[in-house]
Homo-oligomer: A and B are copies of this chain.
Amino acid sequence: MSTTQMLKGILDGCILAIIKNKEVYGYELTEKLESYGFHSFSEGTIYPLLMRMQKEELVTSTLKKSTAGPRRKYYSLTKKGEEELNKFKLQWDHLQTNVNRVLSNEVEEN
């Protein structure tokens, strides 16, 4: 099993969290994710993902001049994006709890 599969759906939430903290552009994200411990991501992953999130109105983008190279497309969170991030946090929390419960072989308590 590759880490690739384990990231499905989780990367979305991580990127929302990063954008919330500070607006970023796509190219920057591929590097930024590394600073959080992830192996570096393909641009073929990042750009389509950002465009999808914009289509879903979770983020907005504005072009700004770069110091070196073409203009950067900076992304920031919409209100809907913040709500989505909060939803993700809850889901991630449940997932963590459940997986850890399975791995340590404990049954759910109520």
Contact = CB atoms under 8 A, between A and B. Distances in A.
Q: Copy number of this protein in the oligomer?
A: 2
- Say whether chain A's binding surface is mostly helix, strand, loop, or mixed: helix
A110 to B, nearest CB: 10
B99 A1 contact: no
A4 to B, nearest CB: 8
B17 A103 contact: yes
A98 B38 contact: yes
Contacts of A10: 6, 95, 99
B95 A17 contact: no
6 contacts: A8-B8, A17-B103, A33-B102, A37-B97, A37-B98, A89-B103
Interface of A: 1-10, 12-14, 17-18, 21, 33, 35-38, 84, 87-89, 91-92, 94-99, 101-103, 105, 107-108
